[in-house]
Amino acid sequence: MPRQTQLFIIICILGAMVSTVSAAEKTTSQLVETIRAVGPEGKGHVAAQKASLALANAPVADIPVILAGMDQANALATNWLRIAVDTVAQKAIRRGDSLPQKSLEQFLQNTSHSPRGRRTAYELLLQVDSGAEARYVPTFMQDPSLELRFDAVATALEAAAALAGDEAKHGEALKAYADAFDAARDVKQIKSAAEKIKKLGGEVKLSDHFGFIRHWHLIGPFDNRDKGGFDVVYPPEKEVQFDARYDGSEGEQVGWIETTTDDDFGIVDLNKVLAKHKGAICYAVAEFDAESAGEVDLRLGCINANKLWLNGKLLNTNNVYHAGMEIDQYVVRGQLKPGKNVIVLKIAQNEQEESWAQRWQFQLRVCDAIGTAVLAKNRAQ
């Protein structure tokens, strides 16, 4: 091997050793901050990688410090911090060292920490404390962490099922299912609890639980032949006047129609309300009377191309046709103001004739970040 090549390799090795020592000399908090600085397109990636390797050798007592680094961290940084926590914990367990159980419990109980960090703390506690599950799961029924809440609701549903198996305890079972239903934010768990409640003779209002808007003002059809109307600014995008009439796509003027859906999941079937149209656009408007100002999720399910405005601000646009429809298909954040807020939807149908391309419908709900319904004061009863 040429001498120059040997010298180059030695310099590289020494450079790597210096970098490693430098990283190791940093405190756990400094290493965590280096990882938190990682960004898209490789920003800070090299420094974060070195910090991650050094962090794997952090003292076991520093696990809560690493977990706290997940607060407001991006997804990439969170994943690296999770790997570091797992590495530190498993090394300690193999050595026979104890995990910092008390500080992990304090971290778990502090709901201001990130859901991912708290979930990780809980999973570590399960490894060292056989009673942790029984002690903590019941406390997660109203937890802001969806994962922890899911576990609690699953346990509550199992307990309710056990009660339902005893005819003498159907009343207790009904209450247990109702408590699980109230706490549930997972769609499958909500549906399961509702089904059991109905089977036992109880009542639930799924649309209220989810926060689906049921009452709408509709107008259409406007022209969308050859998909040419999606970006056309028709009058309802400029003004919302329920007594106005406009030129429609079929040579006749169209006016606003009020409709209230009775569907449990807030689905508005435009084929039924407006009649079946192809190559057409409908506008749907809801006036949402908010109790107070606040940031909310607007979660739309729609099988057609769509646009969504809140108080005149365009929040989302999806020029996609017949790609399926499900609850929370499109999620955007919006700012409610106290009193009247105006939600405007543009629902565009294309001209495909296949049987699976005939649906022209939508559902929209207003909720907080974990799916808890935010209901309007003027909500349809």
Per-residue pLDDT for 8 more than 50? no
What DSSP character marks residue 253? E
User: What residues form DSSP beta bridges with 290?
Assistant: 339
pLDDT score at 137: 97
Contact in structure between 109 and 101 (CB atoms under 8 Å): no
The confidence score (pLDDT) of residue 25 equals 55
Tell me if the domain spanning 210-367 has CATH number 2.60.120.380. yes
pLDDT attached to residue 21: 35
Helices (H) and strands (E) in the chain, counts: 13, 12
CA distance 154 to 157: 5
Phi and psi for 289 in degrees, rounded to 5?
A: -90, 100
DSSP 208-245: HHHTB--EEEEEEEEE-GGGTTTT---GGGT---TT-E
Classify 202 as helix, strand or coil: coil
Do the strands 330-336 and 268-269 form a parallel or antiparallel pair, or are they unpaired?
Answer: unpaired
Higher confidence at residue 333 or residue 43? 333
Is pLDDT at 366 greater than 80 in this prediction? yes
**pTM for the whole structure:** 0.86
Question: Dihedrals φ, ψ of 105, to 5°?
Answer: -65, -40
Q: What is the pLDDT of residues 282-325, one digit of tens each?
A: 999 999 999 999 999 999 999 999 999 999 999 999 999 999 99
Average pLDDT, the chain: 92
Return the pLDDT at 45: 87
What is the residue type of 341? N
Angle at 342 between CA 338 and CA 344, to 5 degrees: 150
67: amino acid identity, one letter: L
CB 61 within 8 A of CB 69: no
Q: Is 214 exposed, middle or buried (0-12, 13-18, 19+ CB in 10 A)?
A: buried
- By mean pLDDT, which of 23-27, 67-71, 343-347 is the weakest? 23-27
Residue type for position 163: L
Paired with 55 in beta bridges are none
Q: What pLDDT does residue 209 have?
A: 98
Q: Summarize pLDDT for 146-156 with one digit per residue, the tens.
A: 999 999 999 99
Tens digits of per-residue pLDDT, 104-124? 999 999 999 999 999 999 999
**Phi, psi of 295, rounded to the nearest 5 degrees:** -85, 135
Work out the percent of the chain whose per-residue pLDDT is above 70: 93
pLDDT at 24: 42
Going 77 to 82 to 83 to 84, the CA torsion angle's sign is positive
Question: How would residue 337 be classed by pLDDT, with cut points 50, 70 and 90?
Answer: very high
- What percentage of the chain's residues is helix, strand, coil (to nearest 5)? 45, 20, 35
How far apart CA 69 and CA 114 sit, in angstroms, is: 9
User: 16: pLDDT confidence band, cut at 50, 70 and 90?
Assistant: very low
pLDDT of residue 40: 84
User: Can you list the pairs that 168-172 forms with residues at least 24 positions away whose Cβ atoms lie under 8 Å?
Assistant: 170/200
> Could you write out the DSSP letters of every residue in 273-309?
HH---SSEEEEEEEEEEESS-EEEEEEEEESSEEEEE
Task: Provide mean pLDDT across the span 17-23.
Answer: 37
CA distance 89 to 174: 42
Residue 6: pLDDT over 90:
no
Residues in the chain: 381
% pLDDT > 90, the chain:
87
